[in-house]
Structure 1
Amino acid sequence: MSDAIKHECGLAFIRLRKPFSYYQQQYGTVFYGLNKLYLLMEKQHNRGQDGAGVATVKLDTEPGIPFMHRVRSAAPQAIGDVFGKIRDEISEIEKYQPEITKYPGLMKGHVRFLGELLLGHLRYATQGKSNVELCHPFVRYNTIPARNLAMAGNFNLINADELFKFTQAEPGETYRNSDLAAMLETVHHFLAKEDEVRRNGLDIKHILKQAFSMFDGGYHAGGLIGSGDAFVIRDPHGIRPAYYYINDDVIVAASERAAIRTTFNVGENEVHELMPGNALIVKNNGEYAIEQILEPKERKACSFERIYFSRGNDEKIYKERSNLGYNLSETVLKAIDNDLRHTIFSFIPNTAEVAFYGMLKGLEDYLNKIKVERILSWGKDFDEAKLSEMVNRRIRIDKIAIKDVKMRTFITADAGRNEMVQHVYDITYGTVLPGVDTLVVIDDSIVRGTTLKESIIKMLDRLGPKRIIIVSSAPQIRYPDCYGIDMSKMGDFVAFQAAIALLKDHNKEYILQEAYGLCMELQRTNTLHAQNVVRNIYKPFTTEEISAKIAQIITPAGINAQVDVIYQSIESLHKACPNNLGDWYFTGNYPTPGGNRVVNKAFMNYMEGKNERGY
């Protein structure tokens, strides 16, 4: 993706079901659980680079012995930093007590993070702050074991303020805007109430029903309780992804199927999707159950997971990304008037590569069809040279764009910084016939269009193509997201900029004022969640008109080539990703009322000149 909207958070959960002596004997190490947690987190490294954290719980500890521990880091290589700290602690113990490594029970007593329950997290700071205090897991300590709670997750909640009011929590400045702090306080509120009335173990299902019925948002969250119980839960629309794997040795959950498969070397069918509204509940004796906590609603699994966020080594995601490219091939052929002789195809590295191969397959299918038709039309009127020329025709592909190592600059002035940004990508020279060839370059999506304008199009134009066509494997991003992706400011979206520009071109700026007035009235009546007002801004224009205006916006001054933009259609997106139909950032169809409130608030911020998030 040229316009990085960064990645989401990633969750990793492990419950060891056997004594530590078993893992030492079976796998040669008492640190089997920690090793697997490290791998599970590294295999989801794509989901967050701003921070990482680990929490563990030890079972059956003596009274007064600490049993819940946590370590977090906001260092540049946060996963390595977290596990480095754990490794340093282990090394210190081994240095002074080398014989202790032979005794798993003693190791458990001396190594803080050698617990049977493990919870790991990778963070992308949607709140715009990367300080370590906001890294997951969050922990609520208590002198009563069953009231200790550690939580982490991949989510955004829209109603955090209401939750703080309900629990009467005073989070302080650092945690006031933290969704996890609001979630933790709410779950802990019901956990404490449950512990007051029950003496024969906690009813985790009952706690989760009460707490999670209050949350408005998309979530995949996990929790460890001091009693030795644990849970992993998914929102009722299935917005955020969640998977689990269970055998006699372990119970595992993570944000991505492929991460579990690689870490534990298991087949696709052995890793299951945690269905919407369900929770994986693990009791302190190692027994587990999949329980329906909330009534499942219309499935709105995030389509951006399939387009971009999740790792592409999952076979289903790979196929879907390939299909996204394939579905665009017919539109691309129409745009170039089927002139494959004078068109070069490429992609913006690196995540658009799979969609590129899918588009290439569609182009090859077309070319092969033409070859057969032409050869049949010749009858017997051909020779070896003519036949060979036709059979050997190929789609012209080249690796035009090259992404260099992430460049940093000491230049602070805007002009100097823009000059440096142009060189984040580089080109392969000598690939284009100047003034004749068309360049078709595919990207995952176009969010802001800034990198295209400041770097990529300028770079491609240096090759001298007659025309540059930027193809997006995703539809136009028109609306904010509020369920886990940090896209919350209307003015950032190039599609919204295009709609505003078109309103000005057609003397219809009054539509903006009408929309703003309606938002103000909805806010006055406390019904800002009732409808998506921003849709009215796009209504006067076709998708093609907005795409054409976007092409104008992202074309820098002084470019010689004609620049066009082609977007995936909503229908083709759903055809390629049939099980992930969450498309609110494209269509404005939010799965929860809070989404409408966020988009309207984001629009009001834009109209009022406020550069802040819509929630």
Structure 2
Amino acid sequence: MSDDIKHECGLAYIRLLKPFRYYQQKYGSAFYGLNKLYLLMEKQHNRGQDGAGIATVKLHTPPGYPMLHRIRSNAPLPIPELFQTIFREIEEVSRYQPDIQDNPELLKGHVRFMGELLLGHLRYGTQGKNHIELCHPFVRIHAQPELNLAMAGNFNLINTDELFEFVGVQPDELYRRSDLAAMMEVVYYFLRQQVHTKQGESSLSLAHILCQAFSLFDGGYTAAGLIGTGDSFVIRDPYGIRPAYYYADDEIVVAASERAAIRTCFNLEEDMVRELMPGKALLVSSNGNVEEKQILPARQRRACSFERIYFSRGNDEKIYQERKKLGYTLSETVLKAIDYDLKNTIFSFIPNTAEVAFYGLIQGLEDYLNRIKVQRILSWGNQIDPEKLSELISRRVRIEKIAIKDVKLRTFIAADQGRTEMVQHVYDITYGTVRKGVDTLVVIDDSIVRGTTLRESIIKMLDRLQPRRIIIVSSAPQIRYPDCYGIDMSKLGDFVAFRAAVQLLKENQKTYILEEAYSLCKQLQRSNSLHAQNVVKQVYKPFTVEEISAQIARLITPPGTRAEVSVIYQSIENLHLSCPNNLGDWYFTGNYPTPLGNRVVNQAFMNFMEGKNERGY
């Protein structure tokens, strides 16, 4: 992706079902759980680089000893720092008791994070700053095991203010900006309520607690929790917005945000890793009983399509095929844009997440070229000229690695002019690949959010090669509306598609549409019905997708660019065709899955009209 957007936290949950000695004897290490947690987090590090955290719970802890431990980091490399800290503690214990690693149960008593329940989290900050106090997991510590709770999740909640009000908490500014803080307060409220009303009963009704708490949340989430009793859970929202997968056998239960991470860490086949379905929870009791239970009624499935386009790692076999299809379905539109002139067109991609869609695009172009070859040969009948045949067969789609990302380049210059000069060099180009003034250059990106990097860096660098035309292809549709379920796309004015629509309204003397939309938003706000409709759809309604794409091309073209620049976007129809199980498309269509989504987009529009540079929720 050329535009850097923060998104999608990562979750890693492990429940060991056997004693530590079992893993030492079978796998050669009593730290099997910690080692697997490290791998599970590293294999999802693409999902969070602002911070990380780990919580563990020990079973059968003697009275007076803590059973819940937590460590967090917001260092530049948070995962290695966490595990270096943990294993330094193990080394310190081993230094004074050299034989302790031969006695796993004794080791458990001396090492804080040797718990049977492990919860890891990778954070991308969307709601709240990157303060270490906002890194998951959050914990509540208590003398009673039942009232010890650790929670982490991949989510955004829209109704945090209402949740704090429900439990009677007046949070400080830092705490108020944390979605997990609101979720934790509500879950703990019902947990404490059950503990106090069922004194003397042997076990918690975890499903009942989750049903009470999560029925109050508006948003997309996958959340996990550990309780001091040894009970634990992983739960997914009823629309299936955020992803969750798990695997269980007689040794271990593991859950994560990505299927491929579980498969890699435990060497599993695809059908061995199950998707946690919408509204369901994975419940693991203190005695190791594993149950998948419907906590909330499943709603119409609206799993996030951005997971398939960009966020998840592309080594999942289904995601890989879906990304290829996103590129393949663009091939006909691209051919029309270049007037089917493959001879004078070079194809490339913007590193690195667009690479798989690029393969699909090339496959579609090659299929077209092969059809042409067959038709041409058949038209010759028996009059085949070997020289012409050889020339025809040798025709290929022209592929070059044009753009190169200098991942280690950092910008230290503060002055705007100098900084702009540095930013354009984040990407480099391969010289000598383009015939100057002759070739069209087609470059695919997975999505275009703000268009800033295209304007300030990529197009400037590509234009140095002096192509006749530059066509930027997006494997995702136009991003028109803010997200409020876990992606850091919350301000309308940031979206190049929205800016293009506003500019078109100005050029066509239709700015009254903006005023009418703003007036309607204020009217809905006064009647406490801002959630009733998505008013921002009116801003886009006067124009076709092609008209907005043409305006986007003008906005992302830097002054002095010699090549003609155009932009092609994926269609909504082909997005759904390519990713049939992830139909969540609200950032493209404005059709939000939860009731308060419309409130967010309308508030974001009012913020734009009032010149407020702040999020809509």
Q: TM-score if structure 1 supplies the norm length?
A: 0.99
Give yes or no for contact 1:7–1:46 (8 Å, CA) kept in 2: no
- Superposed CA offset, 1:182-211 (max 9, x none): 000000000011112221210000000000
- Superposed CA offset, 1:498-519 (max 9, x none): 0000000110001101111111
Gaps of 5+ in 2: none
User: Mapping of 1:156-171 within 5 angstroms?
Assistant: 156-171=156-171
1:219 paired residue number: 221
Match of 1:248 among 237, 247, 250: 250
Give yes or no for contact 1:243–1:254 (8 Å, CA) kept in 2: yes
How many residues in Structure 1 have an aligned counterpart in Structure 2?
Answer: 615
| Pairwise CA distance, 1:407 | 1.7
Give yes or no for contact 1:231–1:279 (8 Å, CA) kept in 2: yes
Report the AA paired with residue 33 of structure 2.
G
Q: Which SS does the other structure have where 1:399 is aligned?
A: coil
Work out the percentage of aligned pairs sharing the same amino acid.
73
- Superposed CA offset, 1:519-543 (max 9, x none): 1111111111111000000000000
Report the AA paired with residue 441 of structure 1.
V
Report the AA paired with residue 135 of structure 2.
C
| Pairwise CA distance, 1:222 | 0.2
Q: Which SS does the other structure have where 1:98 is aligned?
A: coil
1:578 paired residue number: 580
Distance between the aligned counterparts of 1:306 and 1:225, measured in 2?
33
1:188 paired residue number: 188
Give yes or no for contact 2:325–2:357 (8 Å, CA) kept in 1: yes
2:74 paired residue number: 74
Distance between the aligned counterparts of 1:37 and 1:237, measured in 2?
28
- Superposed CA offset, 1:59-112 (max 9, x none): 001100111000000000000011111011111101111111111110010000
Distance between the aligned counterparts of 1:452 and 1:172, measured in 2?
39
Gaps of 5+ in 1: none
| Pairwise CA distance, 1:167 | 0.6
1:526 paired residue number: 528
Show structure 1 runs of 4+ deviating over 3 A.
none
User: Mapping of 1:252-271 within 5 angstroms?
Assistant: 252-271=254-273
1:125 paired residue number: 125
1:56 paired residue number: 56
Distance between the aligned counterparts of 2:589 and 2:407, measured in 1?
35
- Superposed CA offset, 1:118-166 (max 9, x none): 0000000113511211000000112211011100000000000110011
Give yes or no for contact 2:141–2:149 (8 Å, CA) kept in 1: yes
2:221 pairs with 1:204: no
Report the AA paired with residue 176 of structure 2.
R
**Greater displacement, 373-382 / 226-235:** 373-382
Distance between the aligned counterparts of 1:6 and 1:156, measured in 2?
13
Q: Which SS does the other structure have where 1:495 is aligned?
A: helix
User: Mapping of 1:466-485 within 5 angstroms?
Assistant: 466-485=468-487
2:110 pairs with 1:95: no
1:503 paired residue number: 505
2:335 paired residue number: 333
Q: Which SS does the other structure have where 2:574 is aligned?
A: helix
Distance between the aligned counterparts of 2:62 and 2:171, measured in 1?
32
1:591 paired residue number: 593
1:115 paired residue number: 115
2:21 pairs with 1:21: yes
1:553 paired residue number: 555
Report the AA paired with residue 386 of structure 1.
K
Q: Which SS does the other structure have where 1:552 is aligned?
A: helix
Give yes or no for contact 2:263–2:270 (8 Å, CA) kept in 1: yes
Distance between the aligned counterparts of 1:414 and 1:526, measured in 2?
43
Match of 1:289 among 282, 288, 291: 291
**Greater displacement, 518-527 / 170-179:** 170-179
RMSD of the alignment, in Å? 0.7
Report the AA paired with residue 577 of structure 2.
K
1:344 paired residue number: 346
Give yes or no for contact 2:127–2:179 (8 Å, CA) kept in 1: no
2:247 pairs with 1:274: no
| Pairwise CA distance, 1:611 | 0.5
Distance between the aligned counterparts of 1:204 and 1:285, measured in 2?
14
1:32 paired residue number: 32
Distance between the aligned counterparts of 1:469 and 1:174, measured in 2?
44
Q: Which SS does the other structure have where 1:248 is aligned?
A: coil
Q: Which SS does the other structure have where 1:69 is aligned?
A: strand
Q: Which SS does the other structure have where 1:150 is aligned?
A: strand
Report the AA paired with residue 195 of structure 2.
D
2:384 pairs with 1:382: yes
Distance between the aligned counterparts of 1:64 and 1:128, measured in 2?
35
Distance between the aligned counterparts of 2:204 and 2:548, measured in 1?
55
Q: TM-score if structure 2 supplies the norm length?
A: 0.99
Q: Which SS does the other structure have where 1:87 is aligned?
A: helix
Give yes or no for contact 1:245–1:251 (8 Å, CA) kept in 2: yes
Give yes or no for contact 1:218–1:237 (8 Å, CA) kept in 2: yes
Distance 1:128 1:439, change over 3 A: farther
Distance between the aligned counterparts of 2:487 and 2:172, measured in 1?
25
Q: Which SS does the other structure have where 1:593 is aligned?
A: coil
